[in-house]
Amino acid sequence: MEFPDNLVYSKEHEWVLAEEGVATIGITDFAQGELGDIVFVELPEVGADLGRNATFGVAESVKTVSDLYCPVEGEVVEINSSLEDSPEQVNSNPYDKGWMIKVKMADPSQLDDMMSAEDYAKYIKESK
């Protein structure tokens, strides 16, 4: 399992890449592995306002439906529409092609409450 150092992580297994006030959000390698084959992803519309820890969509595997949580408050400025036809990118490439939404952050300091790669790896180990 891979947890890149340039990202921060949530307890609900989302990752955030912060660049110039915009958070790119997806789910972690651990999360995609737990879900299994992802066959459907539902994302919000561009322009939607998301509260902190609000549900922004769902990821479905063959057997299960899982909510996706937005760890930071803000406005959706872009979604990864390629997941509509190729949701399996979340499995094969969770940190790159499998990204889900970009959010213009209302308060970037909310990132301070998220975990580093090292802390997240520890968190997973402990919760197992």
The three-state DSSP-derived secondary structure of the chain is: CCCCCCCEECCCCEEEEEECCEEEEEECHHHHHHHCCEEEEECCCCCCEECCCEEEEEEEECCCEEEEEECCCEEEEEECHHHCCCCCHHHHCCCCCCCCEEEEECCHHHHHHCECHHHHHHHHHHHC
Nearest distance from C-beta of residue 47 to other proteins, angstroms:
18
Please, which residue, 40 or 46, has the CB nearer to other proteins? 40
Compute the CA torsion angle 71, 76, 7, 21 (nearest 10 deg). -100
Instruction: By CB under 8 A, name the one of 11, 17, 42, 53 that touches other proteins.
Output: 42
CB nearer other proteins, residue 46 or residue 62: 62
Is 67 or 107 the residue whose CB approaches other proteins more closely? 67
39 contributes a contact to other proteins by CB under 8 A: yes
Binding mask 79-108 for other proteins (x = CB under 8 A): -----x------------------------
Segment interacting with other proteins, rule: CB under 8 A, options 4-12, 62-70, 73-81, 114-122: 62-70
Which positions touch other proteins (CB under 8 A)?
36-37, 39-40, 42, 58, 60-63, 65, 84
